[in-house]
């Protein structure tokens, strides 16, 4: 009877270890994310050619790990929540897709573009900050320029803040994506206002 009790206790211990191991493996799983952009439009009709880039980002953000803040100044670099691709490429692709949809043009290329591509206008972007607190808001601070034939014709610094809808990393990335849509709309509005179409 004592022998059976010992076997029973040993089996419970083994099962407990197995359960803990499974829980640990689930909690330690790395999650990967991607920015979303506006869908391409089927009625893109303009012949406007736009070149996007170069794009500059801070060294702090140039990493696979998702960066957020805690209580304003504390930086959180997550090991278990990472970008699915290179972050800089994620950014410029999202901005390019947004501008293409908003300006209704398919003739838009990322820097460096092919020699045969001759953009009417080039948009250079220097992102100085793009992070925030996951349970509160995301802030983008960026300086951007519009060039025509390599001559600067407009420059602006944008500061855009978007509230997050929850505490998760997925909510955080959705807020970043929405911030980039708003940022791209600022550029689009300026192009339209200047009559550059």
Q: Could you say which architecture CATH assigns to the domain 31-193?
A: 3-Layer(aba) Sandwich (3.40)
Domain boundaries, the chain: 31-193
Residue 18's alpha-carbon distances to 13, 14, 25, 28, in angstroms, are 9, 6, 11, 15
Say what percent of the chain tops pLDDT 90. 75
Instruction: Kindly report, residue by residue over 33-87, the tens digit of the pLDDT.
Output: 999 999 987 776 788 999 999 999 999 999 999 999 988 789 999 999 999 999 9
Q: What is the pTM of this model?
A: 0.84
DSSP the chain: -HHHHHHHHHHHHHHHHHHHHHHHHHHT--EEE----PPPPTT------EEEEEEE--TTT-SSEEEEEETTTEEEEEEEEEESS-HHHHHHHHHHHHHHHHHT-S-EEESSPPTT---SEEEEEEEEEEEEETTTEEEEEEEEEEEETTEEEEEEEEEEEEE-SSSSHHHHHHHHHHHHHHHHHHHHHHHHHTT--
The pLDDT assigned to 3 comes to 43
Instruction: Kindly report, residue by residue over 10-39, the tens digit of the pLDDT.
Output: 444 444 444 444 444 445 799 999 999 999
Instruction: Kindly report, residue by residue over 142-160, the tens digit of the pLDDT.
Output: 999 999 988 999 999 999 9
Measure the CA–CA gap between 77 and 48, rounded to whole angstroms. 40
């Amino acid at each position: 009877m004592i022998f059976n009790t010992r076997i029973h206790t040993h089996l419970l211990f083994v099962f407990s270890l197995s359960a803990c191991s499974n829980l640990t493996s689930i909690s330690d799983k790395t999650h990967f994310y991607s920015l979303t952009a506006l869908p391409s439009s089927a009625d893109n009709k303009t012949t406007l050619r736009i070149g996007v880039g170069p794009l500059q980002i801070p060294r702090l953000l140039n990493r696979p790990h998702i960066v957020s803040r805690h209580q304003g100044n504390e930086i959180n670099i997550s090991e278990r929540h990472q970008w699915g691709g290179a972050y800089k490429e994620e950014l410029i692709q999202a901005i390019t897709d947004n501008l293409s949809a908003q300006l209704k043009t398919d003739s838009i290329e990322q820097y460096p573009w092919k020699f045969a591509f001759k953009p009417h206008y080039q948009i250079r972007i220097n992102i100085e900050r793009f992070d925030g607190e996951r349970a509160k808001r995301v802030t983008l601070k960026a300086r951007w320029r519009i060039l025509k034939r390599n001559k600067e014709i407009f420059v602006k610094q944008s500061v855009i803040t978007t509230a997050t809808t929850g505490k998760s990393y997925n909510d955080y990335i959705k807020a970043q994506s929405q911030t980039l849509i708003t940022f791209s709309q600022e550029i689009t509005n300026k192009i339209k206002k200047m009559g550059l179409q």
